[in-house]
Amino acid sequence: MSSVNTAIQLITREQAERKVPAASTCSPALARGPWDFDAAESRAGAPAYGPGASSADVAPASTPRQGQLPEEYKLASDAELDARIRAAKATLGDRAVVLGHFYQRDEVIEYADFVGDSFQLANAALTRPDAEAIIFCGVHFMAETADILSRPDQAVILPNLAAGCSMADMADIDSVTECWEQLEELYGTEPDADGRVPVIPVTYMNSSAALKGFCGDHGGIVCTSSNAATVLEWAFERGQRVLFFPDQHLGRNTAKAMGVPLEKMPMWNPRKDLGGNDEQTLQDSRVILWHGFCSVHKRFNVGQIDKARAENPGVQVIVHPECPMEVVDAADSAGSTDFIKKAIAAATEPATFAIGTEINMVNRLAAEYPQHTIFCLDPVICPCSTMYRIHPGYLAWVLEALVRGEVLNRITVDDEVAGPARVALERMLAARP
Ligand code: SF4
């Protein structure tokens, strides 16, 4: 039977070899088969994402359900799955392209034709116009973006439909629409003397297609962790303030670096009237931050940075801007996955790096740059537990189905959502620093 926890075992071994204090995972459930979650039911009866996604996280009712992975894929050995995936890929040739996110486990990444962040991958798919199928080994919102940007006749496939993103689910279209209605009632809709509307919606790439569409429909825009400052500048030129969702940390870290005072960045709690704020606070605001976060990046703390510095004199600490503000402030630098990769690639002399981002990416960088000492700030092994559900068994399943002419687990964004979402994405591409 295939080992479900190969990545976890490798990570543990590598950390032990480098004498990095580690030893435990953030959830023992990570060593179980991802297919266990296909059958899991939450207390409310809705499909559950399972431990590690976020506390008591439950997949939204609209989440597609794939049913159970056939037994043969659960029971297959690693070697058998490897042979079947390679054979299916060889048969499909240019008809299929496999994309692997930076945070994806190594046992899946080895079959990827492209590896990158979500937006790089969506664009990489465009460079393979012959591909009838785009197999996205990431999470649901990434596959949606690829579907929005790809041709209608190209099928975007998410090998395991349980691979969602807990952060993306923290802002749903109903809550954001309700928030917007309350803000319109408070601010009105008339522009000021400089022609700036009261508020511009900005959504992080890590959000549902419905929210990207909302931004397209309401004069708003999408951002990535690479271009968030450029996008906020774009928004401030057109609006008196910004409603930023779903990640409070990326919004706060970016706006703070641009000089926006913290007291002008109230948080919007969707469960409370006016998001839990009084009218004056919202009137005075420059960036209204949605109450969302990444369960992986939220784990990093200043104590880990202090410890890394005490134990590794000269260490460079680089963290992702989805980390809390005090962590970003304490680090030597902060930036997107691409920024982190480039910072390490640019180091000409052997150096020590403590990184605050997802563990699979950190360990891949450590393997790629053996001249450096590279380790994850978090001593507890905590991969993106939802992306982790793309086990090789699911990849073999969807690829072999394609060979038979069947498309499984296709992600399709309706035209009425895809149209405005594309507008918001195109505004992002046109925004220049
Ligand atoms: S690392 Fe965090 S934000 Fe990224 S896909 Fe996983 S849960 Fe979502």
Question: Is omega for the bond preceding 129 within 30 degrees of 0, making it cis?
Answer: no
- pLDDT digit string (tens) for 62-102? 666 776 789 999 999 999 999 999 999 999 999 999 999 99
Ligand 1 binding pocket mutation candidate from 102, 117, 139, 358 (most atoms within 8 A of CB): 139
Mutate to test the pocket of ligand 1, among 247, 290, 294, 299 (most ligand atoms within 8 A of CB): 294
pLDDT of residue 302: 98
Residue where the block lists tokens 């982790």: 388
33-165+386-414: what CATH class?
A: alpha beta
Residues in the chain: 433
Fold of 169-294: Rossmann fold (3.40.50)
**Which pLDDT value is given to residue 320?**
97
The angle subtended at Cα 426 by Cα 421 and Cα 432, nearest 5°, is: 140
All structural domains of the chain with their residue ranges: 1-30+297-382, 33-165+386-414, 169-294
DSSP 348-415: -S--EEEEES-HHHHHHHHHH-TTSEEEES-SSB---TTGGG--HHHHHHHHHHHHTT---SB----H
Q: What is the CA radius of gyration of the chain?
A: 22
DSSP 276: G
Q: Does any ligand 1 atom lie closer than 6 A to the CB of residue 360?
A: no
Ligand 1 centroid distance, CA of 225 (Å): 12
Cα 146 to Cα 118: distance, rounded to the nearest angstrom: 9
pTM: 0.91
**Which listed CATH number (3.40.50.1100, 3.40.50.10800, 2.160.20.10, 3.20.20.70) goes with 1-30+297-382?**
3.40.50.10800
Which residue's C-alpha comes closest to atom 1 of ligand 1? 384
pLDDT for the residue 169: 87
Which helix (H) or strand (E) segment is 287 a member of? Answer: strand 287-290
Q: Which helix (H) or strand (E) holds 242?
A: strand 242-245
pLDDT tens by residue, the chain, 433 residues:
555 556 555 555 555 555 554 446 666 667 667 777 665 554 455 556 654 454 445 666 666 677 678 999 999 999 999 999 999 999 999 999 999 999 999 999 999 999 999 888 888 888 888 899 999 999 999 999 999 999 999 999 999 988 888 899 899 999 999 999 999 999 999 999 999 999 999 999 999 999 999 999 999 999 999 999 999 999 999 999 999 999 999 999 999 999 999 999 999 999 999 999 999 999 999 999 999 999 899 999 999 999 999 999 999 999 999 999 999 999 999 999 999 999 999 999 999 999 999 999 999 999 999 999 999 999 887 788 888 889 999 999 999 999 999 999 999 999 999 999 999 999 999 887 6
- Do 1-30+297-382 and 33-165+386-414 fold alike per CATH? yes
CA of residue 349 to ligand 1 center, whole Å: 32
Q: Which residues pair with 221 in a beta bridge?
A: 202
> 53: CA distance to ligand 1 center in Å?
9
Q: What is the DSSP letter of 25?
A: B
Distance in angstroms (rounded) separating the CA atoms of residues 72 and 88: 16
Binding-site residues from annotation: 101, 118, 165, 204-206, 225, 294, 320-322, 337, 384
What pLDDT score does 408 carry?
93
Separation CA 348–CA 339 (nearest Å): 16
Question: In 10 A of CB 54, how many CB atoms?
Answer: 21
Q: What is Dmax (Cα atoms) for the chain? A: 68
Q: Which of 159, 268, 212, 169 is nearest to 428 (CA)?
A: 212
**Ligand 1 atom 7 nearest Cα:** 165
DSSP H or E segment with residue 115: strand 114-116
Q: Tell me, what DSSP letter sits at residue 227? A: T
Task: Give the C-alpha separation, 297 to 335, whole Å.
Answer: 13
Name the strands in the sheet holding 373-376, side by side, starting at the edge strand that comes first in the sequence. Answer: 333-334, 316-319, 352-356, 373-376
Mark the binding-site residues for [4Fe-4S] cluster, compressed into ranges: 165, 294, 384
Report the nearest-CA residue for atom 2 of ligand 1: 294
Structure confidence by residue, pLDDT tens digits, 192-206 = 999 999 999 999 999
| Ligand 1 atom nearest to 168, measured from its CA | 8
- Side-chain half-sphere of 87: how many Cα atoms within 13 Å? 11
